[in-house]
Amino acid sequence: MVGIVGWRDGGDPGTRRVTADRDATSGRPALLLACTAQFLVVLDVSVVNVALPSIERALALSPSGLPWVANAYALVFGGFLLLGGRLADVYGRRLVFITGLGLFTTASLVGGLASTAGVLVSARGFQGLGAAVLAPATLTILTTTFPHGPARTRALAVWTAVSLAGGAVGNLLSGALTEYLTWRSTLLINVPIGTLGIVVAAATLTGGRPRDRVCRLDVRGAVLITIALIAVTYAVTTSYPHGWRDPITTTALGAGLVCLAAFVVVEARGAEPRLLPLRLLRSRAIWLGNLLMLLVGAAFQIPLWYFLTLYLQQVLELTPLQTGAGFLPHTLLMMLVGMRVTPWLMRHVPARTLVVVGTVTAATGFWWQSQITAHSTYLSGVLGPAIVISVGGGLLIVPLTAVVTSAGSGADAGAASGLMNTAKQLGGALGLALLSTSTIRSSSTRADLSNGYAQAFAITAVILALTAVMALALPVRDPADTRT
């Protein structure tokens, strides 16, 4: 009994090696496209972080309006991810990939040229919609291009490492572009990359026609789950300073829960094809794996980069470029561990063990990070925790992604991918909303700001410690392991 990458076809070892090499070679264009698109999707979660003060000044945004430059992308992205995952199953990966990348690229152009706050926030929302269509298609491309075994594991490792690095690179790139060009370039940089990606995808990707022309989309389910996710996240966001008893907060929360319940009813009783086939949730690897992904997303997806960015600029008073460069250790270590170390370990260690060890390691790093003060320096307060956090993230996300995605059948690959991405993105949005309340202080002195950010990191450490305990309940036998 081995991890997901420990599964091996029968036959001569030399034959298996030749087959794996041939699969890797033939799948390289698909892997490059999928990773490039996923990089853009994750990049734009954080690429505006360092540029926010410049955007605030340029477009005269109010303090309450500024967070929506980031939240508009995250909320729409998370709300539409399930629909995006089903699109790849119904219309084919090629058409969906090109459509999603086209929408994302166009919205980036509009946002980069925006002259008002309303246009920018709207463009960020449409970026999120394009990302919701695009992100599940990238993972579906990999799971349908590479068969179970070492080739798929290597592809998933590269894809996951790129996803992990995207947040940190977003801050680095945002700092450099903002300092030397303008905040607009943080969005406009997507345009040439996206355009080239569309051209390459049209020339190389297959699977452009639907498998079944009579298939229809579960629009009713898509509307219900989107409203539910956005409403619940909005309620959490507005709970401070208004409180949970505020009419706006309670109304949004109530509407979200009602829509969520209605979604479950529709998916249980509606006709096929469903947006989220509830049969997927019968698998412990899927329902528990996605719950774990939500909690991990609450630490890594947005909050880590958000709070460190603010700490580096507001407390340590680093420049935008210095702030971005401060994330290089996170980027390099996550890529190294995720692409090189973890795939090798997965050939010898069960995925569940790696998830538990990685989560405990990350929790330790976040607890260390919570010891920062107003008198800390980058070397004394940030670098050490960065190493531990990055090693933990690289160890846990690759095997967790492999377990969740391998548990679904080929027909539901897009839905399974969309559900996993939804859990991760929603975890990031909810985590940021909840943790933000702990950073607010009555004054904005360096000591108060530092204490608030330290508390956010301490809470994150506790969440990850609980996640490690829950991960012990993951199936011992990985879904892709077909050996008896």
Q: List, as one string, the DSSP characters of 417-449.
A: HHHHHHHHHHHHHHHHHHHHHHH--SS--HHHH
Check pLDDT > 90 for residue 10.
Answer: no
Mark whether 253 and 320 lie in a shared domain: no
Domain count along the chain: 2
The dihedral sign for the CA sequence 424, 429, 434, 438:
positive
Check whether residue 249 and residue 338 sit in a common domain.
no
Measuring CA to CA, which residue among 151, 159, 157 is closest to residue 18?
Answer: 151
Paired tokens of 261: 């319940």
Q: In this structure, are 173 and 37 located in the same domain?
A: yes
Is 168 in contact with 309 (CB distance < 8 Å)? no
pLDDT at 41 over 60: yes
Q: Is residue 484 part of a domain?
A: no
* Angle at which helices 93-112 and 190-204 cross, to 10°: 160
Q: What is the pLDDT of residues 444-484, one digit of tens each?
A: 788 888 888 899 999 999 999 999 999 998 886 554 443 33
Q: Output the DSSP codes for 182-213.
A: -TTHHHHTHHHHHHHHHHHHHHH----S-S-T
Cα distances from 120 to residues 14, 123, 209, in angstroms, run 55, 5, 34
**Do 297 and 368 belong to one domain?**
yes
Last residue of a domain, one of 269, 302, 330: 269
In a domain, 300, yes or no: yes
Give the C-alpha distances (Å, rounded to integers) separating 224 from 18, 87, 230, 261.
48, 17, 10, 9
Distance CA 467, CA 460 (A): 10
> Residue 311 in contact with residue 408, Cβ under 8 Å?
no
How far apart are alpha carbons 99 and 302 in whole angstroms? 26
* Statement to judge: residues 443 and 321 lie in one domain: yes
The overall average pLDDT reported for the chain is 79
Buried b (16+ CB within 10 A) or exposed e, 166-185: bbbbbbbbbbbbbbeeebbb
- The structure tokens listed for 380 are 């004394």
Instruction: Please state, in angstroms and as integers, the Cα–Cα distance from residue 95 to each residue in 52, 268, 334, following that order.
Output: 34, 29, 32
Alpha-helical (H) ranges within 215-280 are: 219-242, 247-269
Query: Which has more confidence, 287 or 275?
Result: 287
DSSP one-letter code for 483: -
d(CA 461, CA 455): 10
> What is the pLDDT, as a whole number, of residue 459?
93
* Cα distance between residue 40 and residue 20, in whole Å: 28
Query: Which has the minimum average pLDDT: 152-166, 242-256, 347-361?
Result: 152-166
Task: Give the span between the Cα atoms of 219 and 86, in whole angstroms.
Answer: 11
Which tokens go with 78? Answer: 């998370």
Q: Are residues 325 and 455 in the same domain?
A: yes
Claim to verify: residue 298 and residue 402 sit in the same structural domain: yes
CA distance linking residue 140 with residue 93, whole number of Å: 7
Amino acid found at 332? L
Q: Is residue 19 part of a domain?
A: no
- For residue 64, the 8-state DSSP code is T
Q: Give the single-character DSSP code of 2.
A: -
Count other Cβ atoms within 10 Å, centred on residue 217. 15
The DSSP symbol for 383 reads: I
Q: Binning pLDDT at 50, 70 and 90, where does residue 442 land?
A: low
Tell me, yes or no, whether 362 and 237 share the same domain: no
- pTM, whole model, 2 decimals? 0.75
Claim to verify: residue 303 and residue 415 sit in the same structural domain: yes
Residue 284 near residue 475, CB atoms below 8 Å: yes
Residue 317 structure tokens: 């008073």
Q: What pLDDT does 224 receive? A: 85
CATH number at residue 53: 1.20.1250.20
Query: Are both 278 and 351 inside the same structural domain?
Result: yes
Are 426 and 296 contacting, i.e. CB atoms less than 8 angstroms apart? no
- Boundaries of domain holding 345: 27-218+270-471
- Give domain status of residue 124, yes or no: yes
| Alpha carbon distance 216, 23 (integer Å) | 33
- Confirm whether 436 is domain-assigned: yes
Q: Are residues 223 and 323 in the same domain?
A: no
How much is the average pLDDT of 118-144?
Answer: 86
- Which two three-digit tokens encode residue 254? 């109530």
Question: What's the rounded Cα separation, in Å, for the pair 469 and 458?
Answer: 17
Considering 235, 252, 269, which residue would you say is the last residue of a domain? Answer: 269
Least confident of 209-218, 261-270, 416-425: 209-218
In a domain, 153, yes or no: yes
For residue range 218-270, what is the model confidence (pLDDT) as tens digits? 778 778 877 887 788 778 777 766 677 888 889 988 999 999 899 888 877 76
* The pLDDT value given to residue 418: 67
In a shared domain, residues 242 and 335: no
Say how far apart CA 190 and CA 182 lie, in whole Å: 14
* DSSP sequence for 155-191: HHHHHHHHHHHHHHHHHHHHHHHHHHS-TTHHHHTHH
Q: Is 223 within the bounds of a domain?
A: yes
Residue 17 belongs to a domain? no
